[in-house]
Amino acid sequence: MKKMTLMKIFLRSFFIQTTLNFRRMQNLGFTMAIIPLIREWRLQQKDSEGMLTRHLQMFNTHPYFSAPVIGSVVRLEEEQGGKGDALEIIALKQSLMGSYAAIGDIFFWGALRPFAAIIAVILAYMGLIIAPIAFLLIYTPAHFWIRLKGFIEGYRLGKNGFEFIRTLDLPRVAVKIRWLSLIILAGSIIWLSYDGYWPFMNTPAVIMKLVALASVLLCLLLIKQGVSQIYIIYGSVVMFLLISWRGILN
pLDDT tens-digit series, residues 183-222: 887 777 666 655 555 454 455 555 666 666 677 777 778 8
CA 240 – CA 189 distance, rounded (Å): 9
**Residue 81: φ, ψ to 5°:** 70, 20
pLDDT tens-digit series, residues 59-96: 999 999 999 999 999 888 888 765 666 778 888 888 88
Beta-bridged to residue 21, according to DSSP, are 25
Terminal Cα-to-Cα distance of the chain (whole angstroms): 67
pTM of the model: 0.73
Taking residues 8-28, report their average pLDDT: 90
Given a cut of 80, whether residue 148 has pLDDT beyond it is yes
Domain layout of the chain by residue ranges: 1-168, 169-250
Helices 170-194 & 113-125, crossing angle to 10 degrees? Answer: 20
pLDDT tens-digit series, residues 114-144: 899 989 988 887 888 888 999 999 999 999 9
- The residue that leads in pLDDT, 12 or 235, is 12
